[in-house]
Amino acid sequence: MKTQECPRCANLARLSKRTFSDQALAALVVWNDLSEKLIDESICDDCYGELRDILIERIEEVKSVSPRTFNRAS
Ligand SMILES: [Zn+2]
């Protein structure tokens, strides 16, 4: 299995692209849980799980974050 350094946590892991809604990404960037330059990058399972848990925990706050559109590569 090919592993690479995760751009978020620097662990060596298998990386893959994750899909979050623009609203969720906006919240994660505002909270500094995800760097804006990483929104279109592949991250590891641990980071994905962490971000997903944050979003679940703070779902009410996510709703109050202004939606924004991010430029994505594809
Ligand atoms: Zn990671």
pLDDT, one tens digit per residue, over 39-55 is 989 999 999 999 999 99
The reported pLDDT for the residue numbered 32 is 95
Distance 35 CA to ligand 1 centre (A): 12
Q: Does the residue 57 lie in any domain?
A: yes
Q: Does the residue 42 lie in any domain?
A: yes
Distance 52 CA to ligand 1 centre (A): 13
d(CA 43, CA 47): 6
The reported pLDDT for the residue numbered 70 is 75
Q: Does the residue 30 lie in any domain?
A: yes
Q: Which domain holds residue 59?
A: 20-64
Distance 9 CA to ligand 1 centre (A): 4
Residue given tokens 């919240």 in the structure block = 27
Better pLDDT: 58 or 22: 58
**What ranges in 14-44 are assigned the alpha helix state H?**
22-30
Q: Does the residue 72 lie in any domain?
A: no
Q: Does the residue 35 lie in any domain?
A: yes
Nearby residues of 57 by Cβ (< 8 Å), 6 or more positions away = none
